[in-house]
Amino acid sequence: MLKQHVRITLGIDKQTPSLFHSSPFRMAPLKQRHLSKMGKIMERKALVLFSGGQDSTTCLAWALDRYSHVETISFDYGQRHSVELECRKVVLGQIRAKFPSWAARLGADHILDLASLGQISDTALTQEQEIVFEKSGLPSTFVPARNLLFFTYASAVAYRRGLTALVGGMCETDYSGYPDCRDNTLKALQVAMSLGLDAPMVVETPLMWLDKAQTWKLAEQLGGQPLIDLIRAETHTCYLGDRTHLHSWGYGCGECPACELRRNGHEAYTRTTAA
Ligand SMILES: [Zn+2]
């Protein structure tokens, strides 16, 4: 019994990343640390939860800038609009075509069929329903446990593929209040996955404390105007799946909460670049 306790304790100390690290700036454990001249972590491999939206595309660029090998994963769970799944193919193709140094690091793309999540979700993302705020205070786009399931499935794929980090675009700054996007939820999940797999499984959330304007700024820092242009034209955010109206901030209906957030963020970002 005592031996088991010691083994688990050592597992936490040596293999599980600290609960209290700030994700974007985390250092690898001492033994694994191997920094390039730029001080970036170069030897580790990441799996990016990549939906084809603005946030996950920025996260993909962030990971490609830091990791020596990056793979992508998405989930098909009967979303009302498959626009995002189409957009992600285009984004991946353009990253390969326009960013040669990133293309060399960009590996396999995985799409998992999670039809069962659609079966157990009665939400505005999977059913033809109007987006409203429920009594709980959450919008009707909330798919219960979605991120918990996504990360858990992603960790299984990462384990098989020899990838030790999962990167996601979750954010607490100007999000819809989804409890499974919260930093503490994901840190707890990181510990649970690392223990459950008996292998390190770091959860990276580079956008966690950024607002939408800062997310645009991060994209600019990572990939300059070509990445800004790619995100504007090819990524998708609109809840209604509108790909016919092009605005300065990208395609969308311009009315739904996702479009509103994206528009406001882009306007704030534009003001900072004009200043
Ligand atoms: Zn919209």
DSSP 174-225: S----GGGSHHHHHHHHHHHHHHHTS--EEE-TTTT--HHHHHHHHHHHHHH
Under CATH, which architecture does the 41-236 domain have? 3-Layer(aba) Sandwich (3.40)
Question: Could you give the angle at the alpha carbon of 248 between the alpha carbons of 63 and 270, nearest 5°?
Answer: 70
**For the purposes of burial, counting CB atoms within 10 Å of the CB of 224, is it exposed (0-12), middle (13-18) or buried (19 or more)?**
exposed
- Asked whether residue 75 is marked as a ligand-binding residue, the answer is no
Question: Hey, how many other C-beta atoms are within 10 angstroms of the C-beta on 143?
Answer: 21
Task: Give the pLDDT score at 142.
Answer: 64
Task: Give the pLDDT score at 55.
Answer: 93
Q: What is the pTM of this model?
A: 0.79
Q: Enter the tokens of residue 20.
A: 């209290």
- Asked whether residue 133 is marked as a ligand-binding residue, the answer is no
Task: Give the pLDDT score at 134.
Answer: 62
The residue assigned the tokens 């969308």 is 252
Quote the CA–CA distance of 47 and 63 in Å, as a whole number: 9
- Asked whether residue 79 is marked as a ligand-binding residue, the answer is no
- Asked whether residue 248 is marked as a ligand-binding residue, the answer is no
Q: Enter the tokens of residue 148.
A: 């918990």
Task: Give the pLDDT score at 4.
Answer: 43
Q: How far is the CA of 66 from the centre of ligand 1 (A)?
A: 32
DSSP 171: -
Of 16, 13, 9, 14, the residue nearest 190 (C-alpha): 16
The neighbourhood of ligand 1, an ion, using CB within 5 A, equals 238, 240, 252-253, 256, 259
Q: How far is the CA of 269 from the centre of ligand 1 (A)?
A: 19
Distance (Å) of CA 219 to CA 57, 63, 86, 211, 212: 9, 12, 21, 13, 11
Task: Give the pLDDT score at 125.
Answer: 52
- Asked whether residue 256 is marked as a ligand-binding residue, the answer is yes
Q: How far is the CA of 215 from the centre of ligand 1 (A)?
A: 19
Three-state SS at 107: strand
Break the chain down into helix, strand, coil percent, rounded to 5.
50, 15, 40
Q: How far is the CA of 270 from the centre of ligand 1 (A)?
A: 20
Longest dimension (CA), the chain: 64
- Asked whether residue 238 is marked as a ligand-binding residue, the answer is yes
Would you write out the chain's pLDDT as a tens digit for each of its 275 residues?
Answer: 444 443 433 333 334 444 434 444 444 444 444 444 455 554 789 999 999 999 999 999 999 999 999 999 999 887 656 777 788 999 999 999 999 999 999 999 999 998 887 777 665 555 555 655 666 666 656 677 889 999 999 999 999 999 999 999 999 886 667 888 899 999 999 999 999 999 999 999 999 999 989 999 999 999 999 999 999 999 988 888 888 999 999 999 999 888 998 999 999 999 988 76
Q: How far is the CA of 71 from the centre of ligand 1 (A)?
A: 28
- Asked whether residue 49 is marked as a ligand-binding residue, the answer is no
- Asked whether residue 54 is marked as a ligand-binding residue, the answer is yes
Q: How far is the CA of 34 from the centre of ligand 1 (A)?
A: 43
Strand partners of residue 212? none
Do you know the residue count of the chain? 275
- Asked whether residue 225 is marked as a ligand-binding residue, the answer is no
Q: Any residues with CB less than 8 A from the CB of 55 and at least 6 apart, and which? A: 169, 171, 207, 215
Q: What are the domain boundaries of the chain? A: 41-236
Task: Give the pLDDT score at 11.
Answer: 35
